Amino acid sequence: MYFDLPEAELAGYRSAQTEPDDFRRFWDETMVQSRSHDLDIHLDRLESAITELDLFDVTFYGFGGQKVRAWLRSPRGALAGLPVVVEFVGYGGGRGRAEDSLFWAACGYAHLVMDTRGQGSSWRVGDTADDAWTGPQVPGMMTKGISHRDTYYYRRLFVDAARAIDAAQAIVKPAHVISYGISQGGGVAVAAATLAGHASAVVANVPFLCDIPRAITVTDSDPYAEIRRYLSIHRDSEDQVHDTLRYFDVVNFARHCTVPALFSTALMDKVCPPSTVYAAFNAYAGEKEIVLHRFNGHDHETDDDVRVARRLREMGLGPKP
């Protein structure tokens, strides 16, 4: 069922979300602080029943010098210099098992999947804590630390993601880095590419965290509904909450991201409404393309990745034949 703006209006939709005056300064200072910690990368090869790919258990230091886990997969005997897909995971999920998600390595890419701090307990397992005392948990994360931009959960996650791109660059010394994600991962992919500064392209499939003020009023689906429920109790916090979220809305990152980007959305998506995705797409500063699915909700199918892999090759960002 269609519930959002008509298709004809989406191409012209512009978000009313505004960027804080110190948006770039806040994030520049955050990244300088985070990069003062060495990445301290550890790379351990795994023994596996998978014989045609190399699998590695990776740790690196993300926000605040805190340890973040990842998997790295690559074609057997080939790693250095490959293009690398750095993947960020959807809401509630973690990096999963080493043998999960073999598509990109099978296509000839190195594929680094970053664990999502504090999540990894809803639909795919994770191993990274959000601090030194607690492990992965069932969400929600949408209101964790939301009283101030410095303490908001997504500050830590966005920095982890930028550092994951740094780590992939350091390990693989790749020809190209693709910042990739679905849903939460799609929104994180845009933010990470903006903050890292050396991605080659962004793939943001049905991205989350876009045009948040609109999202929390047009859909009652989680995760956005976590904010709505919070504000229904903390009635005097609306202005402060929206001020915090301005620093994390992907629309504001999109205005500063200039590498080529591939977006997707769906007209029946009640988790990441299509108008919110178009808000980020229309604000995006670089070359961009979007695929619109008329009869899908918050879905992702194998043919979505096949389409993206073919398009990346056409753009000169794929593995060498």
Catalytic residues: 183, 269, 298
Comparing C-alpha atoms, which of 66, 125, 68 is closest to residue 98?
A: 125
Comparing C-alpha atoms, which of 248, 253, 246 is closest to residue 284?
A: 253
Label each residue of the chain as H, E or C. Answer: CCCCCCHHHHCCCCCCCCCCCCHHHHHHHHHHHHHCCCCCCEEEECCCCCCCEEEEEEEEECHHHCEEEEEEEEECCCCCCCCEEEEECCCCCCCCCCCCCCHHHHCCCEEEEECCCCCCCCCCCCCCCCCCCCCCCCCCCCCCCCCCCCCCHHHHHHHHHHHHHHHHHHHHCCCCEEEEEECHHHHHHHHHHHHHCCCCEEEEECCCCCCHHHHHHHCCCCCHHHHHHHHHHCHHHHHHHHHHHHCCCHHHHHCCCCCCEEEEEECCCCCCCHHHHHHHHHHCCCCEEEEEECCCCCCCCHHHHHHHHHHHHHCCCCCCC
Question: Would the CA dihedral through 186, 190, 192, 198 be positive or negative?
Answer: positive
Which residues are CB-contacts of 247 (< 8 A; sequence separation ≥ 6)?
A: 20, 23, 26, 27, 149, 152, 155
